[in-house]
Amino acid sequence: MPIAPSQYDHDVRASDAEFPASDRTRSEDYLWTLNFGPQHPATHTTLRLVLTLDGERVVDALPEMGYLHSGFEKLGEHLTFNQYVTVTDRMNYISPMANNVAWHCAVEKLMGIQLTPRCQYIRTIIAELARISDHLLSNGAVGLDVGAFTFFLYAFYQREVIYDIFETLCGARFTNSYTRVGGVSHDFTPLVVQKIRDFIKTFPKTLADMERLLTRNRIFVDRTKGVGVLSKEAAINGGASGPVARASGVPRDLRKDEPYLAYADFQFQVCCAAAGDCYARYLVRMQEMRESLKIVAQAIENLPAGDIHIGIDQRTSLPTKKQVYSTIEGTISHFELSMANRGFEVPCEESYMGTEAPNGELGFYIVGDGSESAYRARCRPPSLLHFSLFPQLIRGHTLSDVVAVLGSLNIIAAELDR
Residues 47-76 that bind another protein (CB under 8 A): 65-71, 73-75
Site string for another protein, 171-200 (x = CB under 8 A): --xxx-------------------------
Residue 325 CB, shortest distance to another protein, in Å, is: 28
Give the C-alpha distances (Å, rounded to integers) separating 27 from 30, 37, 51, 265: 9, 25, 17, 61
Task: Supply the minimum distance, in Å, between the C-beta of residue 3 and another protein.
Answer: 6
Residue number with CB closer to another protein (298 or 371):
371
Residue type, 127: A
Instruction: Supply the minimum distance, in Å, between the C-beta of residue 30 and another protein.
Output: 25
Is the CB of residue 237 less than 8 Å from the CB of residue 402?
Answer: no
The distance of closest approach from Cβ of residue 74 to another protein in the complex, given in angstroms and rounded to an integer, is: 6
Taken as a whole, the chain contains a residue count of 418
403 binds another protein (CB under 8 A): no
What is the signed CA dihedral for 336, 338, 342, 347, rounded to 10 degrees?
80
Strand, helix or coil for residue 416: helix
- What string marks each residue from 70 to 109 as x (binds another protein by CB under 8 A) or -? xx-xxx-xx-------xx-xx--xx--------------x
Q: Which one, 34 or 75, has the nearer CB to another protein?
A: 75
Nearer to another protein, 294 or 376 (CB): 376
Interface of this chain with another protein, residues 368 to 397, rule: CB under 8 A: 369-373, 375-376, 378, 380, 384-385, 387-389
Binding test (CB under 8 A) with another protein, winner from 110, 165, 184, 295: 110
Give the separation between CA 174 and CA 272, rounded to whole angstroms. 29
Helix locations, 232-277, DSSP H: 232-237, 242-246, 254-257
* 17 is a contact residue toward another protein (CB under 8 A): yes
d(CA 310, CA 19): 54
Instruction: Count Cβ atoms below 10 Å from residue 398 Cβ, excluding itself.
Output: 14
